[in-house]
Amino acid sequence: MKVQWTLAATASAAALFAATAAQAQALFLPDGTYDYALKQGSTTVATSTVTIKRSGSVVGIHEAESVQDPTIGQVTISADESVTAESLAPLSFSGDYTASGKTTTVKLTMGPNYTGAFYANGSRLSVPVKLLPESTAMMVQDQTLVLSFLCLPGLTQSVKATTMTQAVPTAGSIHLMRVDPAPQVKPTGVPAADMGVGVASPVAFSVWFDPKTGIVDEIDVPSQSLTILLTKH
């Protein structure tokens, strides 16, 4: 009977742990495919398709983007990022940027305690990747990419981060990113139930999302006159 009780207790504890782990997952878009349009005024300057797929405790994010650059013509980007489901901490990032027949590959690899390294075309860069003082979370940022913004709702709502380290693989640099405590002004057309969260520095932007699902409907970057709109999911 003692063995049976122990097995039953272990099974109950495992079930409780599994339920707690499921509840502990940070707010983030459900698995699926999401299409976005990047606009400057009424002009669509890029289109992007983001695919989300979970595997255990890891969330995989893939993005395929096509940008029409006025100087060099069409730029195609294929990027992959993985983050932990619990805290949205970055695990890896890889991006291939192709323009004028030439491809540049940048990567971010992460180890324990938010430490990692940048790579450009296979060469490790000297800039160390680590949490900056005051920050309690890290977010990969490349404002060319939609996936750069998707973790912000979960980092602020679930992880409760207000100051984060911004890791920029294309620049091989890290910066301190501060959340704007002021209420955001909802743009016309954003769903009524959406919440907004803004970043004050180093570049101001706001993200509008469904607080129940984490689906991001709109992103606004005023300094670039850029609006990113969800068009299909």
pLDDT tens digits for range 134-165: 999 999 998 789 999 999 999 999 999 999 99
Whether 26 contacts 139, CB under 8 Å: no
Checking if the pLDDT of 6 tops 70, the result is no
The pTM of this model reads 0.87
SS3 55: strand
Res. 105 pLDDT band, cuts 50 70 90: very high
pLDDT band, very low/low/confident/very high, at 71 (cuts 50, 70, 90): confident
pLDDT digits (tens, 9 = 90+) for 11-46: 333 333 333 344 479 999 999 999 999 999 999 999
The pLDDT, as a whole number, for residue 70 is: 81
CA pair distance 221, 225, nearest whole angstrom: 6
Spatial neighbors of 191 by CB under 8 A, at least 6 apart, are 210, 217
pLDDT of residue 73: 85
* 222 three-state secondary structure: helix
**Position 184 pLDDT exceeds 70:** yes
What is the maximal distance between C-alpha atoms in the chain? 77
Query: Position 167: which residue type?
Result: A
Q: How many CA atoms lie within 13 A of 156 on its CB side?
A: 23
* Amino acid found at 82: S
Check residue 23 and give its pLDDT.
Answer: 47
- Residue 72 is predicted with a pLDDT of 82
pLDDT of residue 12: 39
Distance between CA atoms of residues 211 and 171, nearest Å: 32
